[in-house]
């Protein structure tokens, strides 16, 4: 749907340090994420998609806000917040580290960066996990400092990311492994560069460490990117649904546990350190999840992007919901992510989906979509 209205920006809905640049470069649609504006479209979802999957794109993802934890008990707190084994995370390494509640529900699904023995950033998805971290630290009486640093990530994503990254940073960039990072600078602008990003196309994230340089950094990258046809874009709903990347708030909420979403490979329930949710997760593992995330192919005409969860039926009996859906121009079909009762969450399972353009037949397929 498209509407005509004004969204009033204030201190509560924060602009990113790249905001002016993204407007100059044609951002046409924004979403609100972590109480910040995030560009979500430039030309169209489809045009932006082709730029991302066929070349290389620059994204303002400053709304991936950081929680910085430092102090003698920083490791203990990081461990306590996630079932991921943080003791295995080396300095200069990232981990996809779910934050779980006492009942196993997912509070956030951040990327964790280890900057020092007792120095961590949780690079957040869309929920107020800084408050949660502060509450835990107070409750346990931990000796830590928890704050939001002046850090704003950009992402460079797309199959042709490397030549551009080499032009920006030099030869060493090729050696940087997946989910590894390095502290560096560009024209004196302080950065952390990580090989990571919210697409399956490959690429890097540049964490700007001083918001003053937002405009200068964006323009520098676009200028160096000119010969490589670098295009401004954003996290793309078509690409990420095709690839099965889950979006917190849509496909994943505090109501979901990691087993339902096939994320248990990121949970080390037998890790040494204490963490919130261990007992619940062990119980869910033993009992099996009651529902599972699946991919759906939905027959029929192209439908509008999914704004709300759509009910799913099996022979008129409710059995789950579509959490994200979109038309894939590459696969030429409607694809969706859906959470279904375990008994119907098998490959080939036939269902009906209540979409805004009517009831449509669907069947369960594997993720990533192909």
Size of site (CB under 6 A) for ligand THG? 16
The helix (run of H) or strand (run of E) holding residue 148 is none
**177-207 as b/e, with b when 16 or more CB fall inside 10 Å?**
eebebeebebeebebbbbbbbbbebbbbbbb
Please select the residue that binds ligand THG; options are 48, 60, 73, 205, rule is CB under 6 A: 205
Give the nearest distance from C-beta 287 to ligand THG in angstroms: 26
Please select the residue that binds ligand THG; options are 30, 40, 198, 213, rule is CB under 6 A: 198
For residue 147, CA distances in Å to 25, 115, 217, 368 come to 32, 15, 24, 36
Going by C-alpha positions, the residue among 204, 196, 181, 202 that lies closest to residue 90 is 181
Does 89 sit near ligand THG (CB under 6 A)? Answer: no
Give the nearest distance from C-beta 314 to ligand THG in angstroms: 29
Give the nearest distance from C-beta 110 to ligand THG in angstroms: 5
Does 110 sit near ligand THG (CB under 6 A)? Answer: yes
**Residue placing its CB nearer to ligand THG in the complex, 30 or 198:** 198
The helix (run of H) or strand (run of E) holding residue 117 is none
Radius of gyration, alpha carbons of the chain: 21
Does 369 sit near ligand THG (CB under 6 A)? Answer: no
Q: What residues numbered 228-247 form the site for ligand THG, per CB under 6 A? A: 245
Does 153 sit near ligand THG (CB under 6 A)? Answer: yes
**Residue placing its CB nearer to ligand THG in the complex, 298 or 367:** 367
Does 218 sit near ligand THG (CB under 6 A)? Answer: no
Q: How far apart are CA 193 and CA 237, in angstroms?
A: 24
Does 64 sit near ligand THG (CB under 6 A)? Answer: yes
Give the nearest distance from C-beta 243 to ligand THG in angstroms: 8
Give the nearest distance from C-beta 266 to ligand THG in angstroms: 6
Give the nearest distance from C-beta 211 to ligand THG in angstroms: 16
Going by C-alpha positions, the residue among 113, 280, 300 that lies closest to residue 196 is 113
Give the nearest distance from C-beta 240 to ligand THG in angstroms: 9
**Residue placing its CB nearer to ligand THG in the complex, 123 or 355:** 123
Does 79 sit near ligand THG (CB under 6 A)? Answer: no
Q: What residues numbered 267-306 form the site for ligand THG, per CB under 6 A? A: none
Does 96 sit near ligand THG (CB under 6 A)? Answer: yes
Does 158 sit near ligand THG (CB under 6 A)? Answer: no
Q: How far apart are CA 322 and CA 294, in angstroms?
A: 9
8 A C-beta contact, residue 94 and residue 180 = yes
Please select the residue that binds ligand THG; options are 57, 152, 157, 196, rule is CB under 6 A: 196
Going by C-alpha positions, the residue among 338, 277, 255, 284 that lies closest to residue 97 is 277
**Residue placing its CB nearer to ligand THG in the complex, 262 or 363:** 262
What's the number of CA atoms in the CB half-sphere (13 Å) around residue 234?
A: 28
- Burial (CB count within 10 angstroms: exposed 0-12, middle 13-18, buried 19+), residue 150: middle
Q: How far apart are CA 296 and CA 278, in angstroms?
A: 31
Going by C-alpha positions, the residue among 311, 309, 296 that lies closest to residue 349 is 296
- Choices 52-60, 108-116, 209-217, 281-289; region in contact with ligand THG by CB under 6 A: 108-116
Q: How far apart are CA 154 and CA 59, in angstroms?
A: 6
Residues of the shown chain interacting with ligand THG in the complex, contacts defined by CB under 6 A: 64, 95-96, 109-111, 123-125, 153, 179, 196-198, 205, 245
């Amino acid at each position: 749907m498209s509407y005509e209205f004004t969204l009033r920006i204030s201190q509560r809905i924060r602009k990113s340090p790249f905001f002016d640049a993204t407007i100059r470069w044609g951002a046409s649609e924004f979403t609100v994420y972590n109480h910040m504006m995030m560009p979500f479209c430039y030309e169209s979802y489809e045009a932006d998609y082709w730029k991302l999957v066929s070349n290389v794109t620059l994204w303002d993802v400053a709304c991936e806000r950081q929680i910085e934890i430092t102090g003698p008990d920083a490791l203990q707190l990081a461990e306590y917040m996630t079932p991921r084994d943080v003791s295995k995370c080396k300095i200069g390494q990232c981990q996809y580290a779910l934050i779980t509640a006492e009942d196993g529900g997912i509070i956030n699904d951040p990327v964790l960066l280890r900057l020092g023995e007792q120095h961590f950033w949780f690079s957040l998805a869309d929920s107020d996990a800084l408050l949660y971290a502060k509450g835990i630290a107070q409750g346990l009486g931990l000796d830590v400092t928890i704050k939001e640093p002046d850090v704003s990530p950009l992402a460079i994503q797309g199959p042709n990311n490397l030549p551009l990254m080499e032009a920006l940073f030099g030869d060493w960039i090729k050696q940087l492994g997946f989910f590894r990072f390095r502290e560096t600078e560009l024209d004196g602008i302080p950065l952390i560069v990580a090989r990571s990003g919210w697409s399956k196309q490959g690429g890097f994230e540049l964490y700007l460490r001083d918001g003053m340089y937002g405009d200068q950094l964006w323009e520098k990258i676009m200028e160096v990117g000119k010969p490589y046809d670098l295009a401004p874009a954003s996290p793309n709903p078509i690409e990420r649904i095709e690839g099965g990347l889950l979006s917190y708030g849509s496909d994943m909420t505090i109501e979901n546990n990691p087993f339902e979403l096939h994320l248990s490979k990121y949970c080390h329930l037998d890790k040494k350190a204490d963490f919130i949710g261990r007992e619940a997760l062990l119980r869910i593992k033993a009992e099996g999840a009651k529902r599972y995330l699946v991919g759906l192919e939905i027959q029929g005409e192209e439908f509008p992007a999914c704004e709300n969860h759509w009910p799913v039926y099996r022979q008129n009996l409710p059995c789950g919901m579509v959490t994200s859906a979109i038309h894939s121009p590459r696969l030429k079909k409607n694809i969706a992510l859906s959470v279904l009762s375990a008994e119907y969450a098998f490959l080939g399972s036939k269902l009906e989906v209540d979409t805004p353009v009517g009831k449509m037949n669907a069947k369960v397929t594997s993720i990533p979509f192909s």
